Amino acid sequence: MSRLLIVDGHAYAYRAFHAIRELRSPTGQPTNAIYGFVKMLEKMRAAVEPTHLIVVWDGGLNAERLAALPNYKAQRPEMPADLRLQLDGIVEFLAVAGIASYRADGVEADDYIATLARLAAEQWNVVIASSDKDFMQLVSARIGLLNPNDKTGVIWGREQVLAKTGVEPGQVADWLALMGDAVDNIPGVPGVGPKTAAELLKQFGSVADLLARLDEVKSEKLRQSLRDSAAAVLRNQNLVRLPAVPCKFLPEELLVGAGDRAALRRLFAGWGFKGMLAALDVAGEKQVELI
């Protein structure tokens, strides 16, 4: 069966930028994020062995989420200038390496990744490379997660999601709705953290059943907090769920291509990536030998 690897582009660009503090091209331009991204992608491809691959980039915040919560993701700092300078370089690398990438204005990467993953999972196995906990709600027999924070390299399935959250993948959106998500500036129910949210969902199954049976919550303080926050929890469900967005599932465009070796040489030379240049030459020699 074909396997699609979907990479959360901005997440890995940030990760690469902070992992390698100082690296510049012969002309003095920052290249640490480019170098780190290329190496991380190489490692992921070796681990996952995808037949198809795409890197998805954020295109801005979802208008409906902003309307529901004006402070949605408002606390996030501006992208570092040296990282922003390198994004075009990463996208150029992907193009000449024969790797698909996608970005659309007003489309959050999470939503497009979720839509594409669901479509592809009808035929293929899918691996989403990201540490974003929102993606745990997608985990199924056909969709797994490659979490860069998990050094074991295991592709997460139901077992890992259950161990991390205490709930089933299908309950993750409700779990996030109850406890909130500080990363996205989504406030949860006061006094409800990951453990309490999981315990509530184990008892009631879903947010809908919990709110319908609030009188069964033993703690008076928790019961009142849930009652006072009911509207916010329902809002949060819509914020954390990953809706379908316009997406054309075109398998032929997701195939991992051979890449343009000459263009890759020009990029690596310009960036001063001597090790990558050498590896490219070795790979070319082996290909000639096979012919």
Q: Is the pLDDT at 251 greater than 60, yes or no? A: yes
Q: Report pLDDT for 288.
A: 38
User: What are the sequence ranges of the domains in the chain?
Assistant: 3-162+243-290, 169-240
Q: What gap in Å lies between CA 156 and CA 139, rounded to an integer?
A: 8
Q: Report the first-to-last Cα separation within the chain, whole angstroms.
A: 28
Identify the sign of the CA torsion 156, 51, 101, 104: negative
CATH architecture for residues 3-162+243-290: 3-Layer(aba) Sandwich (3.40)
| CB contact at 8 A, 59 and 246 | no
Q: What is the pLDDT of residues 192-201, one digit of tens each?
A: 999 999 999 9
- The reported pLDDT for the residue numbered 286 is 52
With a cut of 50, say whether residue 291 has pLDDT above it.
no
What percent of the chain is predicted at pLDDT more than 70? 97
Strands, DSSP E only, in 115-247? 125-129, 143-146, 155-156, 180-181, 186-187
Q: CA 158 to CA 109: how far, in whole Å?
A: 23
Both tokens of residue 210?
A: 């919990």
Residues with Cβ within 8 Å of residue 192, at least 6 apart in sequence: 178, 179, 200, 222, 225, 226
Q: Is the pLDDT reported for residue 215 higher than 90?
A: yes
Write the single-letter amino acid at 125. Answer: N
Collapse the DSSP code of 127 into the 3-class scheme (helix H, G, I; strand E, B; otherwise coil) and give the result.
strand
Helix (H, G, I), strand (E, B) or coil at 224: helix
Q: For residue 184, what are the contacts with CB-CB under 8 A and spacing of at least 6?
A: 72, 73, 239, 240
- pTM, two decimals, is 0.93
Fold: same for 3-162+243-290 and 169-240? no
Under 8 Å between Cβ of 113 and 8? yes
Beta bridge pairs of residue 255: 52
Mean pLDDT in residue range 169-187: 96
Pairing of β 100-102 and β 52-56: parallel
The single-letter DSSP state of residue 124 is S
* Domain covering 169-240, topology: DNA polymerase; domain 1 (1.10.150)
- The total number of residues shown for the chain amounts to 291
Over the stretch 78-115, which tens digit does the pLDDT of each residue have? 999 999 999 999 999 999 999 999 999 999 999 999 99
| β-pair partners for 125 | 3
